[in-house]
Chain A
Amino acid sequence: MTTTDLIIGPQHPALHEPERFVLKLDGEYVVDVVPRIGYVHRGIEKAAELRSYIQDVYLIERICGICNVSHSLVYVQTVEALQGFEIPPRAAYLRTVVHELNRIHSHLLLLGVVGELFGFDTLFMYLWRDRELVMDVVESITGNRLISAFNVLGGVARDVGPSQISEAKRAMEYLRGRMKFYKKVFAEDPTVEKRSKGVGILKPSSALSLCAVGPVIRGSGIKTDLRADDPYAAYGEIPFNVITYDTNDSWARFMVRVDEVFESIGIIEYALDHLPDGPIRARFPRRVREGEAVGRVEAPRGELINHIISKGGDKPYRFKCRTPTLANILAACEMIRGGQIADVPVSLSSIDPCFSCEDRLAIIDVSKGERYSARIRDLMAKYGASR
């Protein structure tokens, strides 16, 4: 069978970030897809090794603007695990609240973008209007509407007062009413149904074998959520449900996110009602003891892993970050395979891609046109770099 190549990206109207996908087409249908990552590699892992642990909090927070709280949370948790440090209970609850606010705003952002990709711009506008409400709550709690700078080593940066708590609760109550409306729209609207039901199928077996994470794997009916499976911050004390849908299509992945917003609202209300008294941060040493630690959190897009090696001192020896999009990108290719070209943008966006977060460095021998892997030790020996 002869196929035609269709190249999507690195610059393409359907992608919000530069990444390349080569589609092998048989007429309208996609037979195969080859992803090519690495266009927006920023070298943050290396930069983190050159800065102190305190400076790294703000650098790593900027790996992803949308899920910045997850990135700073997993980093501070990993460094605290390295040091064997316990944070005060109030700090754990406040981290949970801001983490969930972050999740709500990330999910609403994606659902709005999806509305736009469906050609349902009204949905996009209204969802983003209601998302502003969450941003206002984040602004009043953390001091900035997006990049929160809230998680710091040893606790959180600032406390919340009674007025902020009542404002947040009012906003959550209003948002719950709005989300009931949006859930009806996503469940019943003909545009949403035609564009996402039965489109981008990811079977549970392939979701597992491709190591999908987050709402992608939960949309294939597999119940896995780090907040329940391996509780961190205050999740062990807060009741909530793990949402799964079993229709395996793009619609299931969107509905998982819609329902997760309800769960997040519940978590925020419970945490604010049961906020323990006490200090919000404990003094964290500047120098971290020698060792190695792995931390993980459930970011809005899925499991986010940090691995830090310390040789003592005030800078990490090695910082490694695995973002959820890197885990989901093969699952996205599986969804696209067998579908039509017109469904590619919706299937891709159903994993909530964040390409610049996941980009990795590829070493290419220009004279031979070959890609190869190398150990950092060999590269340093070859180019004379030193730590």
Chain B
Amino acid sequence: MGLPKFISEALRAVARRPFTLMYPFERREPPEGYRGKQVFDLSKCINCGLCAMDCPAFAIEMVEIGGKKWPKLYMDRCVFCYQCAASCPKNVISSSKLYELAGTSRSNLVISPEPPAMEGGGA
């Protein structure tokens, strides 16, 4: 019968460590290539706007700073599909392992562009 089998399984589990972790005291390291918070390396950005065009969640807006348009990411809309990184011709967008993105304000969930200092002073 199956029932005694499950009892022996349950008894064995008593001796084992719990399967769950004591979050937030214990944290699991996400694997390599985990799709967490985005990192923008704007020194490579060519202001083409392909990331904003292909974003399925309309989470990227191109904002004008110093006469050029730069990507601004709203993480509260983002679905972390990384199509932006795939569309980017210059590999500006890379992933990080940061996944604890909950907050009390939506304004904390915006990655504003910080364009590199431009030669010639910009606008």
Q: Which residues of B contact A58 (CB under 8 A)?
A: 56-57, 79, 81, 83
Are A157's CB and B2's CB within 8 A? no
Are A55's CB and B3's CB within 8 A? no
Count class of interface residues, chain B:
20 to 34
A189 interfacial by beta-carbon distance below 8 Å: yes
Q: Which residues of A contact B6 (CB under 8 A)?
A: 122-123, 185, 189
Q: Given the complex of chains A and B, what is the CA–CA distance between A235 and B6 in angstroms?
A: 36
Q: How many contacting A-B pairs (Cβ < 8 A)?
A: 75
Q: Which residues of A contact B86 (CB under 8 A)?
A: 152, 157
How many chain A residues touch B (Cβ–Cβ < 8 Å)?
33
Main secondary structure of the interface of B (DSSP, over half): loop
A174 interfacial by beta-carbon distance below 8 Å: no
Are B82's CB and A149's CB within 8 A? yes
Provided the pairs A188-B1, A190-B2 are in contact, do residues A139 and B31 lie with their beta carbons within 8 angstroms? yes
Least CB separation from B33: chain A residue: A143
Are B81's CB and A192's CB within 8 A? no
Q: Given the complex of chains A and B, what is the CA–CA distance between A54 and B79 in angstroms?
A: 14
Q: Which residues of B contact A132 (CB under 8 A)?
A: 19
A11 interfacial by beta-carbon distance below 8 Å: no
Are B82's CB and A188's CB within 8 A? no
Provided the pairs A58-B79, A58-B83, A181-B9 are in contact, do residues A188 and B2 lie with their beta carbons within 8 angstroms? yes
A144 interfacial by beta-carbon distance below 8 Å: yes
Are A57's CB and B3's CB within 8 A? no
Contact of A158 among B33, B56, B87 (CB under 8 A): B33
Q: Given the complex of chains A and B, what is the CA–CA distance between A64 and B14 in angstroms?
A: 36
Q: Given the complex of chains A and B, what is the CA–CA distance between A192 and B1 in angstroms?
A: 11
A-side residues, CB < 8 A to B, are: 51-52, 54-59, 62, 122-123, 126, 129, 132, 136, 139-140, 143-144, 147, 149, 152, 157-158, 181, 184-185, 187-192
B-side residues, CB < 8 A to A, are: 1-3, 5-6, 9-10, 19, 30-35, 53-57, 79-83, 86-87, 95
**What are 16 A-B residue pairs whose CB atoms fall within 8 Å in the complex?**
A54-B83, A59-B56, A132-B19, A139-B34, A143-B34, A144-B34, A144-B80, A147-B81, A184-B5, A185-B5, A188-B1, A189-B1, A189-B2, A190-B2, A190-B3, A192-B2
Closest 5 CB pairs of A and B: A189-B2, A58-B56, A55-B56, A188-B2, A140-B31
